[in-house]
């Protein structure tokens, strides 16, 4: 694509030369404005229809100089255009090569299939959380967007096993099935599960009646957008303050009220193991709140302060970005 700033610059140069030529013929040859403009345009473009009237010596010298400027301008435009095309193509080639190298080295990453409205929001959240991900979509024009925003992109059909393998599905930790159609998402779920049995599969399901099919296909989490939006709309009427509060604390990035929920696995021989929540001093030393504990596939919600933490517990923590960072440092 020809850069807009370069087009503007060329238009300014061209209009300036045309103005100089028109004024020159007006003053030197005493032509009318229209005749002077005609002479200026045909001389600058080197078309050569002929002169309006025989030129004086001064007019001939002026025309020679003016033609040279026209030729130089043409050569300049051609050189800038060629340089722009070469740079764009070179950037694309280097970008593709860099992307392929990154894809080969990716591990424990996420794969996003479909870059529509849902996929765009997923990508935004992944980027905000600084997670590595690969986008798969049929839209070839997304390649330029990927190069500009620096995310990995593979053009193609996400239901194709070869495309999924290019995205490193065997080494991935999870996949988002955000295609537009339930049939495509179901087929993608089956393919992904077949290629990586341990993969976490989060899929979009438009029709609630298709949910059992997705579960049988191996989906880990099934998102029903219409049901979620319906519940949200009702909640906005019957408990608006709760909804407003959650919006503020969960989505106000960079503000004092920002809160995040994170999960933390208590490893074996961790400093928290076999200690109660109170004696571990998590709240006092980091500021985070333990809102739930997942143990053996079941949740202990709002745990008491005398609840003993065990190895392999998942702690669901709530706090600001700084508090969560303090918690990680405290555990380490």
In CATH terms, 4-96 corresponds, of 3.40.50.2300, 1.25.40.10, 1.10.357.10, 1.10.287.70, to 1.10.287.70
Residue 59 clears pLDDT 60, i.e. is over it: yes
Return the SS3 of 320.
coil
Query: 303, 292 in Cβ contact below 8 A?
Result: yes
State the residue for tokens 């740079």: 87
Average pLDDT, the chain: 84
Residue 331 clears pLDDT 90, i.e. is over it: no
Task: Show the tokens assigned to 176.
Answer: 């988002």
Query: How much is the pLDDT for 88?
Result: 60
Query: How much is the pLDDT for 245?
Result: 77
Spatial strand order of the sheet with 152-155 comes to: 152-155, 133-137, 110-113, 174-177, 200-204, 221-223
Query: How much is the pLDDT for 1?
Result: 52
155-205 per-position pLDDT tens digit: 999 999 999 999 999 999 999 999 989 999 999 999 999 999 999 999 999
* Max mean pLDDT range (6-10, 92-96, 144-148, 239-243): 239-243
Q: How confident is the model at residue 5 (pLDDT cuts 50, 70, 90)?
A: low
- Classify domain 107-229 by CATH number: 3.40.50.720
Query: 152, 146 in Cβ contact below 8 A?
Result: yes
Q: Is 266 buried (19+), middle (13-18) or exposed (0-12) by CB count in 10 A?
A: buried
Task: Show the tokens assigned to 88.
Answer: 């764009």
Where does the chain have alpha helices with state H? 4-28, 33-44, 57-105, 117-128, 142-149, 161-166, 182-195, 211-217, 225-238, 240-251, 277-280, 282-286, 321-331
Residue 114 clears pLDDT 60, i.e. is over it: yes
Query: How much is the pLDDT for 77?
Result: 75
Q: Which ranges in the chain are annotated with CATH 3.40.50.720?
A: 107-229
CATH architecture for the domain at 258-331? 2-Layer Sandwich (3.30)
Query: How much is the pLDDT for 73?
Result: 77
Task: Show the tokens assigned to 193.
Answer: 């599960």
Q: Tell me the CB-side half-sphere exposure of residue 251, using CA atoms within 13 A.
A: 8
Q: How confident is the model at residue 94 (pLDDT cuts 50, 70, 90)?
A: low
Q: Decide which of 129 and 316 is more confident.
A: 316
Residue 46 clears pLDDT 90, i.e. is over it: no
314-319 vs 298-301, strand pairing mode:
unpaired
Q: Is 4 buried (19+), middle (13-18) or exposed (0-12) by CB count in 10 A?
A: exposed
* Max mean pLDDT range (28-37, 46-55, 297-306): 297-306
Q: What is the mean pLDDT of residues 49-68?
A: 80
**Cβ atoms within 10 Å of 111's Cβ, excluding its own:** 28
Query: How much is the pLDDT for 71?
Result: 78
254-289 per-position pLDDT tens digit: 555 577 888 888 888 888 888 999 998 888 888 899
Q: Which ranges in the chain are annotated with CATH 3.30.70.1450?
A: 258-331
Return the SS3 of 177.
strand
Least confident of 228-232, 250-254, 266-270: 250-254
118-164 per-position pLDDT tens digit: 999 999 989 888 899 999 999 988 887 887 787 889 999 999 999 99
Return the SS3 of 111.
strand
pTM: 0.62
Q: Which ranges in the chain are annotated with CATH 1.10.287.70?
A: 4-96
Query: How much is the pLDDT for 170?
Result: 92
What separation in angstroms does the CA of 136 have from each of 153, 165, 219, 254, 274?
6, 11, 18, 31, 45
- 159-165 own/partner pairs: CB under 8 Å, 24+ apart: 159/184, 159/187, 159/188, 159/191, 161/191, 161/195, 163/136, 164/111, 164/136, 164/191, 164/192, 164/195, 165/195
Task: Show the tokens assigned to 76.
Answer: 């300049």
Q: What percent of the chain has pLDDT over 90?
A: 33
Residues in the chain: 332
What are the beta bridge partners of residue 223?
Answer: 204
Residue 316 clears pLDDT 60, i.e. is over it: yes
């Amino acid at each position: 694509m020809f850069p807009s700033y370069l087009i503007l610059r060329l238009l300014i140069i061209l209009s300036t030369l045309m103005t100089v030529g028109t004024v020159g013929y007006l003053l030197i040859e005493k032509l009318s404005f229209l005749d002077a403009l005609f002479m200026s345009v045909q001389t600058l473009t080197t078309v050569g229809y002929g002169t309006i009237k025989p030129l004086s010596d001064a007019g001939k010298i002026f025309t020679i100089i003016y033609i040279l400027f026209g030729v130089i301008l043409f050569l300049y435009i051609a050189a800038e255009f060629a340089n722009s095309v070469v740079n764009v193509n070179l950037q694309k080639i280097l970008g593709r090569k860099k992307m392929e190298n990154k894809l080969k080295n990716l591990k424990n990453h996420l794969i996003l299939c479909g870059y529509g409205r849902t996929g765009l929001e997923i990508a935004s959240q992944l980027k905000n959380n600084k997670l590595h991900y690969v986008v798969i979509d049929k839209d070839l024009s997304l390649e330029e967007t990927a190069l500009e925003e620096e995310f990995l992109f593979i053009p193609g059909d996400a239901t194709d096993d070869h495309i999924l393998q290019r995205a490193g599905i065997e080494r991935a930790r999870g996949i988002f099935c955000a295609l537009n159609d339930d049939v495509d998402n179901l087929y993608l779920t089956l393919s992904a599960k077949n290629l990586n049995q341990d993969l976490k599969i989060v899929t979009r399901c438009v029709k609630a009646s298709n949910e059992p099919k997705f579960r049988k296909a191996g989906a880990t989490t099934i998102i029903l957008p219409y049901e979620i939006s319906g519940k949200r709309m009702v909640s906005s009427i019957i408990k608006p303050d709760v909804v407003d509060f959650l919006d503020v604390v969960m989505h106000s990035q960079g503000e004092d009220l920002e809160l995040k929920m994170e999960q933390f696995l208590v490893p074996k021989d961790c400093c928290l193991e076999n200690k109660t929540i109170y004696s571990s001093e998590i709240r006092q030393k980091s500021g985070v709140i333990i809102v739930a504990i997942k143990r053996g596939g079941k949740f202990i919600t709002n745990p008491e302060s005398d609840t003993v933490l065990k190895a392999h517990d998942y702690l669901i923590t709530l706090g600001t970005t700084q508090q969560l960072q303090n918690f990680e440092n405290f555990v380490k």
